[in-house]
Structure 1
Amino acid sequence: MIKKLWCHRELIKQITIRDIISRYKGSYLGIFWSFLNPLFMLAVYTFVFSEIFKSKWNTGSGSKIEFALIIFAGLAVYNIFSEVTTRSPGLIVGNANYVKKVVFPLEILPISILFSSLIHCMISISVLIASIFLFLGEFHWTMIYFPITLAPLLLYALGLGWFLAALGVYLRDIGQIVGIAVQALMMLSPIFYPITNIPDYLKTFFSINPFTYIVEDARNIFIFGQTPDWISLAINTAVGLLVVLLSYIWFQKLKGGFADVI
């Protein structure tokens, strides 16, 4: 699997660039929207959660800016998973011309979406780091752990991307189901609220939710200057590798029938 994907690295790069360019094609600001969007969202989070909901995080500071940045950190990483999984069900159907090309490696399409989402995430993270430095006056060295803490999320996103891309060819309704599931999972992960606010009878569910640890680690290394939870990180990475392997096998098994269905 790794050897095959490595051989197509240049093609993956080209399709990723095309995906990013096509997203802003025809707009006056172009790629600059990638910087404006997270800035606008950060302003909206600050206003809605601090002024309307009067929400506070359990940090003792009561800072509205800090609360907005805490939420923004969680959403920045979750959006990678959200974008990949919601786009994957229609990925093969939307690129039917590639299916008819015998030599085209269809398995690189979810990877290209993942890389495109990752680039947008890096832009959001740069906005986050700049905001932390400007508004909180902090710059934690623990930020260097971000690539490590992001690894399980990328594995889950890629694995589900392959799984849903193949399934979406045969079951067109899966796209609607995935959209609802992604929104539900976002609300059931500690993005908009601290994990300490979760009732005791729900803590078992949150403990088996992998995004609980991923979001918490991202928040800790950027906002609070804490190191990741190494045990949960190792478990999540191992499970993520298994998901990738099984999903790749699933994709290869179903790929032979794509042309007949489409």
Structure 2
Amino acid sequence: MVQTLWKQKNLINQFVKREVSGRYKGSYLGMVWSFINPLMMLIIYTYFFSVVFRAKWGGGAGESQVEFALILFCGLITFNFFSDIITRSPAIIVSNPNYVKKVVFPLEILPVTIVGAAFVHFLISFGILLVALILLMGVINWTIILVPLVMLPLALMTLGLSWFFASLGVFIRDIGQFLGVAVQALMFLSPIFYPISIIPENLRGIYYINPISHVVEDMRKVIILGQFPSWSWLLLGTSIGLITTWLGYYWFSKTKGGFADVL
């Protein structure tokens, strides 16, 4: 798997650029929307929760309304990285039938390009979050250097799932509709709009088996609170991510021979 992707790194890079630029193709502002969308999201949430709701996170964090908005935005950009990949994966092969039928093409790189494009948009949102931290909070914690380590389990899991759902989307076209609903449900089952501490004890098990919960919580720790992530989860999550990646790639490799017959 690693050798195959490394050999195709230049092609992957070209397709990632195409995916990023193609999202806003035909619009007047083009790539500028990649900056405007997360910036507007941050402004809206900051206003909504600091002025309208006057909400606080509690538990020693988010005592100010602005900090609450930044904590919320941090969780949202993390979850959006996951949701963007999962919801787009089922259609990536179906929307490119020429690569399946008419040319000899390494189809396994198509889901990878979705992950790469989502990562680019995540970096843009992350940059806006850093600027907001400086302007609104006046500080950046040194623990922010641990962000790549915290995101690694989620990146590995979504890569494996993107291969799996890209293949499944060829044979079961309804999977895309199902995933759209499932991702929305998962967003509310993840501690994005609220801390895990407010969840009743008898229900917390649901949140602890949700890997996104751990990543969202650790992202807030290293970016907003200046705390260390959960090292035990990083070890477990990375292991799960590696297994998911390998299984997804194995599934895709075994099923891609039947794509042409279905398409």
Q: TM-score, normalised by structure 1?
A: 0.97
Q: CA deviation at 1:228?
A: 1.0
Q: Counterparts of 1:15-54 in structure 2 under 5 Å?
A: 15-54=15-54
Relative distance call for 1:61 and 1:152 in structure 2 (3 A) is: closer
Which deviates more, 149-158 or 17-26? 17-26
Aligned Cα root-mean-square deviation (Å): 1.2
Alignment partner of 2:111: what SS? helix
Identical pairs, percent: 52
Q: Does 1:3 align with 2:3?
A: yes
Q: TM-score, normalised by structure 2?
A: 0.97
2: CA distance, partners of 1:215 / 1:37: 20
Relative distance call for 1:60 and 1:119 in structure 2 (3 A) is: closer
2: CA distance, partners of 1:15 / 1:223: 33
How many residues of Structure 1 are paired with residues of Structure 2 in the alignment? Answer: 262
1: CA distance, partners of 2:219 / 2:89: 25
2: CA distance, partners of 1:177 / 1:30: 30
Counterpart amino acid of residue 32 in structure 2: F
2: CA distance, partners of 1:217 / 1:62: 19
2: CA distance, partners of 1:202 / 1:61: 23
Cα deviation digits, residues 58-78 of structure 1 (max 9, x gap): 136631111110011111111
1: CA distance, partners of 2:85 / 2:181: 14
Q: Counterparts of 1:163-242 in structure 2 under 5 Å?
A: 163-242=164-243
Which deviates more, 185-194 or 41-50? 41-50
Relative distance call for 1:88 and 1:213 in structure 2 (3 A) is: same
Cα deviation digits, residues 2-47 of structure 1 (max 9, x gap): 0011100011011110111111222222211111111100111123
Structure 2 residues not aligned, in runs of 5+: none
Aligned partners of 1:81 and 1:156 also within 8 Å: no
Q: CA deviation at 1:55?
A: 2.4
2: CA distance, partners of 1:60 / 1:148: 22
1: CA distance, partners of 2:151 / 2:124: 15
Q: CA deviation at 1:88?
A: 0.5
Cα deviation digits, residues 69-120 of structure 1 (max 9, x gap): 0011111111111001000111110011111145201110111010101011
Alignment partner of 1:30: what SS? coil
